[in-house]
Structure 1
């Protein structure tokens, strides 16, 4: 569920949401399915309960971050910044 979207003009758009999918499943999706769809991870880091990466592809670039929810066990908070290249 998306709960916030913020237009930062030339800086891009930030979308924040929460998912009932596990942190591990979302991390796997971002590192494999999204990469297979043509988005390359440029750099990032993964820890036990959060991860982030810069990415580019298909005419866009940005950053994503995910973390286990501190308030709802089993949910994952997702934030994506995207802008055109």
Structure 2
């Protein structure tokens, strides 16, 4: 995870598959206040393709995506409020 942001919470979803990956991230974000930051550890393939896009579609800000040596990814996302 990047040290550039203060991570408020983290979640590891490497043990689940789509579409449950996004559901788990969405549930974790519900526990945070707008502007807080969540670190997400996820697998390559569908999760890294779909989760960041779905987060953006929901109005959240993806701050960084980095690949770990084992092929998994670390995603840093800032919870955003939905604009009506």
TM-score, shorter chain, exceeding 0.5: no
TM-score for both structures, normalised by structure 1: 0.41
Q: Which has the larger radius of gyration?
A: 1
Relative to its length, the structure with more strand (as a share) is 1
Relative to its length, the structure with more helix (as a share) is 2
